[in-house]
Structure 1
C-alpha cells in the first residue's frame, strides 16, 4: 500500500493535502479522486453563485510527483435571456 496526497484546486485557492491517504492500487487512487470532487463542489457551487466553476484534484505520490488529475466543471446558462424567473414578462 502506498500513500498519496490529494491536493485541491477550487478555482480560487490551492489546498495541499498534508496528510495523504494510503491506497492499495491505481484504481483506488482514481476512485478517491472521483469521490472527493462532488463533495468539494457541492457547497461551493451554490455559495459562489457563478455560472462557470471548475474543481480539480491533483494526486501526488510520496515523491511529490503528480500521478493522477481529475476535474469537475459546472456550467450554467439561461436558455433565453428574457426567460429568467426574476424578470417581468412584457
Structure 2
C-alpha cells in the first residue's frame, strides 16, 4: 500500500498532513477523504458562521496531487417566513 497525505484547506488556512495514511489504491484514498471531511467540518463549522467550505487535497510521497474533494456548509436564516403550502395541481 502507498502512503497518501490528506491536507486540509478551510478557506483561510492550510493544514498540511505530516504523517499520512496508507491507502489501498484510489478507492481507499477516496474513502478516507470522504470520512476526513465530515470529521473536520463537525468541529469547525460553528466557528465560522453560516458559510464554510473544507477541501481535502490528497498527495502522495512524491508530493503529487491525486485527488481533491470539497464539503460545503451554507446556512440561511429565513426570518420567520411560513413554509408555503404545496400546490396540489403541481403534484398531479
Q: TM-score normalized by structure 2?
A: 0.82
Structure 2 residue aligned with 1:75? 74
| Cα deviation digits, residues 57-77 of structure 1 (max 9, x gap) | 000011101100010000011
CA distance in 2, matches of 1:56, 1:37: 7
Task: Give the deviation of 1:12 after TM superposition.
Answer: 2.5
Structure 1, unaligned stretches of length 5 or more? 85-90
Moved over 2 A (4+): none
Task: Give the superposed CA RMSD.
Answer: 1.4
Structure 1 residue aligned with 2:8? 8
Structure 2, unaligned stretches of length 5 or more? 82-92
Pairing 1:17–2:17 present: yes
CA distance in 2, matches of 1:22, 1:42: 24
CA distance in 1, matches of 2:40, 2:25: 23
Within-5 A mapping of 1:1-90: 1-48=1-48, 50-79=49-78, 81=79, 83=80
Count of aligned positions: 81
